[in-house]
């Protein structure tokens, strides 16, 4: 974190969104592979992931153009990118398997994992799938949440000052549990849930209250709407981090908050994400000052809820 903050740009009208993206990617890749991946391969992976994501988005948003993506060769280029990303990870797995050393990272854990029923490890292909999912699921979501957090704090200087006063001198263990930091992060994800929408397919005929749900129906869960519904939160459009303090959390009107989803497919990186965001936020606000530029970010509700830009004035304390 220190290294990253050392190079953090300061000045007027800085778009912090790409910076948060880079940071979140670095955090997840360093946690997956606690080794020095060559800079060139790291950049290659990062570029592939953004390019593949952009292409998937195009296919989701313009399914009627899929024939064109095939004909124009765009689909082929993306399949090759995905193949190359898999090769880079395969090489890391190969090197790891040859090494007698323990790295204590997520890759070690994935390679050491055994199926409960047959005691077998995952195949390399499965490990690669898991790694790619974590790189994708664990990177943009955290970057979006952190960017909106900085925006909201810059818009609410009193909240920012209060937060700064309460978080200096904390150990890492204290930081990841700090109520004030977590309340700010949760309130940001209430207003701007990175996973703003999700879906499920009914596996069998079902019913909920008066709704009949036939098998194969797709149900869309609209988290953004739930989080801003006055039925669920008081003054739902405003930023009030204190609503997430323990003393307030049990109130009746705090019942629909699902930034990480729920049930068996709930985010497996939720604690990781909260910890990385709390640690970053604590370090950042102690080293830097941010003020509003009056710019309101445009919302891009794609696979995740992205800001177009987050323009802030940034200075060192």
Binding residues for ligand HEM, per CB under 6 A? 28, 133-134, 137-138, 141-142, 145, 194-195, 198, 259-261, 265-269, 272-273
| Rounded-to-10 torsion of CA 223, 224, 225, 228 | 120
Q: Closest approach of Cβ 258 to ligand HEM, in Å?
A: 7
Helices (H), the chain: 2-6, 17-32, 39-61, 66-71, 74-98, 106-112, 124-137, 140-155, 157-166, 172-177, 179-191, 223-227, 246-249, 270-287
In DSSP terms, which residues pair with 316 in a beta bridge?
A: 288
Q: Which of 279, 297, 270, 309 is nearest to 5 (CA)?
A: 279
Q: Which residue, 27 or 160, is less far from ligand HEM as judged by CB?
A: 27
Q: Sign of dihedral through CA atoms 275, 302, 196, 151? A: positive
Q: Which residue, 133 or 219, is less far from ligand HEM as judged by CB?
A: 133
Q: Which residue, 69 or 192, is less far from ligand HEM as judged by CB?
A: 192
Q: Closest approach of Cβ 28 to ligand HEM, in Å?
A: 5
Interatomic CA distance for residues 108 and 106, integer angstroms: 5
Q: Closest approach of Cβ 72 to ligand HEM, in Å?
A: 31
In DSSP terms, which residues pair with 218 in a beta bridge?
A: 201
Q: Which residue, 69 or 190, is less far from ligand HEM as judged by CB?
A: 190
Residues 184 and 162 sit within 8 Å (Cβ to Cβ) = no
Q: Which residue, 78 or 147, is less far from ligand HEM as judged by CB?
A: 147
Q: Closest approach of Cβ 2 to ligand HEM, in Å?
A: 21
Q: Closest approach of Cβ 93 to ligand HEM, in Å?
A: 17
Q: Closest approach of Cβ 276 to ligand HEM, in Å?
A: 7
User: Which residue shows structure tokens 């207003």?
Assistant: 191
Q: Which residue, 145 or 290, is less far from ligand HEM as judged by CB?
A: 145
Which residue's Cβ has the minimum distance to ligand HEM? 269
Interatomic CA distance for residues 266 and 185, integer angstroms: 18
């Amino acid at each position: 974190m220190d290294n990253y903050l050392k190079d953090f740009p300061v000045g007027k009208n800085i778009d912090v969104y790409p910076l948060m993206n880079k940071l979140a990617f670095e955090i997840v890749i360093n946690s997956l592979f606690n080794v020095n991946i060559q800079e060139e391969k790291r950049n290659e992976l990062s570029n592939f992931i953004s390019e593949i994501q952009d292409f998937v988005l195009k296919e989701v948003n313009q399914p009627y153009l899929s024939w064109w993506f095939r004909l124009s060769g765009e689909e082929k280029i993306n399949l090759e990118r995905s193949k190359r990303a898999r090769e880079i990870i395969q090489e890391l797995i190969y090197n790891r398997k040859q090494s007698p050393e323990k790295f204590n990272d997520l890759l070690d854990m994935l390679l050491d994992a055994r199926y409960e029923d047959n005691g077998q490890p995952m195949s390399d292909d499965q490990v690669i799938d898991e790694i790619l999912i974590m790189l994708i699921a664990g990177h943009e979501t955290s970057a979006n949440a952190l960017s909106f957090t900085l925006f909201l704090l810059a818009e609410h200087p009193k909240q920012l000052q209060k937060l700064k006063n309460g978080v200096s001198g904390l150990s890492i263990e204290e930081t990841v549990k700090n109520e004030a930091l977590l309340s700010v992060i949760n309130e940001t994800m209430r207003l701007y849930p990175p996973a703003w929408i999700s879906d499920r397919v009914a596996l069998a005929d079902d019913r909920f209250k008066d709704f009949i749900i036939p098998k194969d129906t797709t149900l869309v869960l609209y988290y953004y709407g739930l989080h801003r519904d006055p039925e669920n939160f008081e003054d739902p459009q405003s930023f009030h981090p204190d609503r997430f303090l323990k003393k307030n959390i049990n109130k009746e009107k705090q019942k629909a908050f699902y930034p990480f989803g729920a049930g068996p497919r709930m985010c497996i990186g939720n604690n990781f994400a909260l910890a990385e965001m709390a640690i970053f936020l604590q370090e950042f606000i102690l080293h830097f000052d941010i003020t509003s530029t009056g710019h309101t970010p445009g919302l891009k509700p794609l696979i995740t809820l992205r800001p177009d830009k987050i323009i802030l004035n940034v200075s060192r304390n």
